[in-house]
Chains A and B, each alone.
Chain A
Amino acid sequence: MRDVEIVGVGMTRFGKQEDRSLESLGRAAVVDALNDGGVTSNSIQAAFVANVLGGGQVGQRVLFRAGIESIPVLTIDVACASGSAALHEGFEAVASGRHDIVLVLGVEKMSGLFKGGINLQREDRESRLGLTMPGIYAMVARRHMFDFGTTPAQLAAVSVKNRRHGLANPRAMFAQEVSVEQVLESPAIADPLTMLQCCPNADGAAAVVLTAGDHGRAGRPRVRVLASHLVSGTSLRRQVEIDRGDISRRAAAGAYEQAGVGPADVDVAEVHDPFTIGEVVSTEALGFCDAGDGGDFAASGASSLDGSLPVNPSGGLMSKGHPVAATGVAQIAELTWQLRGEAEGRQVPEARVAVAHTVGGGVAELDGVASVVSILAAA
């Protein structure tokens, strides 16, 4: 396996952008990433494009507008983990020697698609019965509270922290602090989750250029991808514990082994937080704290920007919004800025090792669609 480096990253603002097309958002992120890396569009040898809701062929639809034609272009969908899966495929393509320079893009246009929350597959019996995306996470939260004594205030602490972090991110949808009381008193969505514990839908795109070795701009801090591990979910009918993050645990174990590092080596992480309980369970699954301690990990300040292991310095999905397939690539952009020392206003001091994590869900009978954990390091 060859060393893989991130030489360029780009990201649009996330949020409601009803006046912009999917193609326009995607193109902007690609141009941004190419410019950042000093790379021309005709040097890209393959592209992996994440999209869930755009109606098909999104890779080709977007990329020819950025001057990228004729090369292999694949569009990837594993729900909320799509962007991370595209990064995973790009990493594998370069590490294995198949390509020397590839583009990874995540793009989503959600405005106008849904009334309320994201619809699940309508053919499933579970969604006809009234299972919603917040409902899935709410049942995880309820069980976590039962098994470990996690409190609503601890859940709310995740939202408070990530909204605070987002104040320093100019690409985030929200720039407003909230208090624990405001979070808990916001309208009930799916008990125990309230509105301010759910991330908003958003439009946006993010892109990354990966290369074998150093093709980046001279003199700039270099960032390597040490590992990227992807797994799919398993059936819930076997009575698995839904509050242990098994799917994320398996992705993390594979990534740590591939990278040759462990949780204790991690300086900063972007962790999937579509709902507060998501970050709680996933910080446990990533080994940042013991099983059951995820609520306290957030409420104690350990995962705050000035804590022992800052989680979601970008503001996470709570602040940025969640353009489903763009999310995983945007995490990589944030962590690249962190490792280069370019995360103005939200920089984690001397960050050397970074973890990116997403988990896609929405198929009622599975504990998840897919989870990806990727590990980056300052080279």
Chain B
Amino acid sequence: MSNTADTLTLTCSRCNGCGEVACPPASCALCGLETDKVEIETEGTLYSYTVVHRAPPGVAVPYAIGYADFVPGLRLFALVTPIDELTPGATVRLVPDCDVGYRFELIQELVS
């Protein structure tokens, strides 16, 4: 995991045999073969999300969580900000989050 300014680069592994991508990098859990280290793209596509209004005691609501898909073929789960105007298909950026490593930040479309 490397960290420049407000964008985060995650390093994953991709299996030489079956192409399985894993993060954090590891030997392939499916076929046991060697893997290459690859950096995933820092911008991905929000696959789905929800704004949570009822959480376990002590957790402040509302907050948004979601899955986002990144090239070369990995789905990650994280908090999403800001929680307004989210939609599946939106472009998000991986940004560092001191508590949990990373979160997804919505890239706002510029309205001209």
- Interface residues of chain A, those whose CB is within 8 Å of chain B, are 115-117, 119, 125-126, 128-132, 134-135, 138-143, 146, 187-193, 236-239, 242-243, 364-365
A239 → B minimal CB distance (Å): 5
Q: A132 near B57 (CB under 8 angstroms)?
A: no
Task: Enumerate chain A residues within 8 angstroms of B79, measured Cβ to Cβ.
Answer: 129-130
B77-112 Cβ-contact flags toward A at 8 Å (1 or 0):
111000000011100000000001000000000000
Nearest CB in chain B to that of A241: its residue? B47
Task: Enumerate chain A residues within 8 angstroms of B75, measured Cβ to Cβ.
Answer: 236-239
| B57: contacting residue among A115, A134, A141, A364, CB under 8 A | A115
Q: B48 near A139 (CB under 8 angstroms)?
A: yes
Q: B52 near A132 (CB under 8 angstroms)?
A: yes
Nearest CB in chain B to that of A114: its residue? B56
Q: Given that A116-B57, A146-B88 are contacting pairs, would A239 and B47 also be in contact in the complex, using a CB cutoff of 8 Å?
A: yes
> Within the assembled complex, what's the spacing in Å between the Cα atoms of A23 and B96?
49
B50-85 Cβ-contact flags toward A at 8 Å (1 or 0):
111111110100010111010001111111000000
Q: B21 near A237 (CB under 8 angstroms)?
A: yes
A70 → B minimal CB distance (Å): 41
How many A-B residue pairs lie within 8 Å, measured between CB atoms? Answer: 98
Q: A135 near B52 (CB under 8 angstroms)?
A: yes
Task: Enumerate chain A residues within 8 angstroms of B52, measured Cβ to Cβ.
Answer: 130, 132, 134-135, 138, 189-191
Q: A116 near B54 (CB under 8 angstroms)?
A: yes
B18 → A minimal CB distance (Å): 11
Task: Enumerate chain B residues within 8 angstroms of A125, measured Cβ to Cβ.
Answer: 77, 100
| A242: contacting residue among B48, B57, B65, CB under 8 A | B48
| B53: contacting residue among A131, A188, A242, CB under 8 A | A188
B33 → A minimal CB distance (Å): 17
Is the C-beta of B8 less than 8 angstroms from some C-beta in chain A? no
Q: B53 near A239 (CB under 8 angstroms)?
A: no
Nearest CB in chain B to that of A119: its residue? B56
Q: A126 near B77 (CB under 8 angstroms)?
A: yes
Q: Given that A146-B89, A237-B22 are contacting pairs, would A140 and B48 also be in contact in the complex, using a CB cutoff of 8 Å?
A: yes
> Within the assembled complex, what's the spacing in Å between the Cα atoms of A323 and B20?
37
Task: Enumerate chain A residues within 8 angstroms of B65, measured Cβ to Cβ.
Answer: 129-131, 135, 139
> Within the assembled complex, what's the spacing in Å between the Cα atoms of A238 and B19?
10
> Within the assembled complex, what's the spacing in Å between the Cα atoms of A243 and B50?
14
